[in-house]
Amino acid sequence: MATPPASHAGPRLTAASAAGLPEQAALPRHVAVIMDGNGRWARQRGLPRIEGHRRGVATVRRVTEHCARLGVGQLTLYCLSSENWRRPPAELDFLMQLLEQYMIEERALLMRERIRVAMIGSRAGLPEATLAALDRTVATCAGNDGMLLCLAVNYGARAEITAAARALAEECRSGRLDPAAITEDALAGRLDTAGMPDPDLVIRTAGEMRLSNFLLWQSSYAEIWVTDTCWPDFTEADLDDAFRAFAGRERRFGGLPES
């Protein structure tokens, strides 16, 4: 989307003591998380990789609930990249089963916390049972008025941008759009995230210093926070540390510091 104004910081904490944050600290409106380190966590403990993924689901539950209760507007989780299909079939099958199970078992929590659910990414190649569970949960939570939980599944930012460019080209070819009318907002409106705010804060676990093809367009002015902690060990306290760091940064969006 076009460069957002500084007002995209979210609601101010009304109970800062709940997270140990400064009283006047502003929450990020949209938090995006690259959940990395499940396999590494398992390997360090002599466990199969699937155990890392299983433990990672528990972290998803904790982080989702914590964000919702603090008042974060949107939480986007990088669940499966379009490149992850290179992994062993047995691991991919397990990941799909975990996603299906999560969509079913977490409905009560999602409804209790009034959380809405959305998916970005390609549905192609995803198991029908997984898609059915996801679609039912999205429909069940559609009337909620709380945080939006956005799941990036079979997602790749380059493919997303390419598809948006292709859509604009087709509209121009058919005469429905003047090429001169193509703006940043026009392209953003064809992305999977159309209508969503850009992320204010991108969190990556397990210490890697890269975006890994995640929300490349949308993260142009996001603050990035990296921790060496692997995703299964990531706690509410770690999330609070990220929010505390975010509150201490000056966001200029390409402008000069305020005098």
203 and 31 Cβ atoms separated by less than 8 Å: yes
Rounded to an integer, what distance in angstroms lies between the CA atom of residue 136 and that of residue 129?
11
* E runs forming strands in the chain: 9-12, 26-28, 30-34, 74-81, 116-120, 148-155, 201-204, 223-226
Length of the chain (residues):
259
Return all residues near 47 (Cβ < 8 A) that are at least 6 apart: none
The residue type found at 155 is Y
Active site residue 84: yes
Which residue in 84, 213, 238, 240 is the catalytic one? 84
219 and 211 Cβ atoms separated by less than 8 Å: yes
Which residue in 36, 192, 200, 241 is the catalytic one? 36
- The CA distances from residue 70 to 17, 18, 25, in Å, are 11, 8, 12
Tokens of 9: 């910081």
**Which residues share a beta bridge with 223?**
201
Return all residues near 155 (Cβ < 8 A) that are at least 6 apart: 78, 79, 80, 81, 82, 120, 121, 122, 192, 214
Return all residues near 166 (Cβ < 8 A) that are at least 6 apart: none
Active site residue 93: no
Could you give the residue numbers annotated as active site? 36, 84
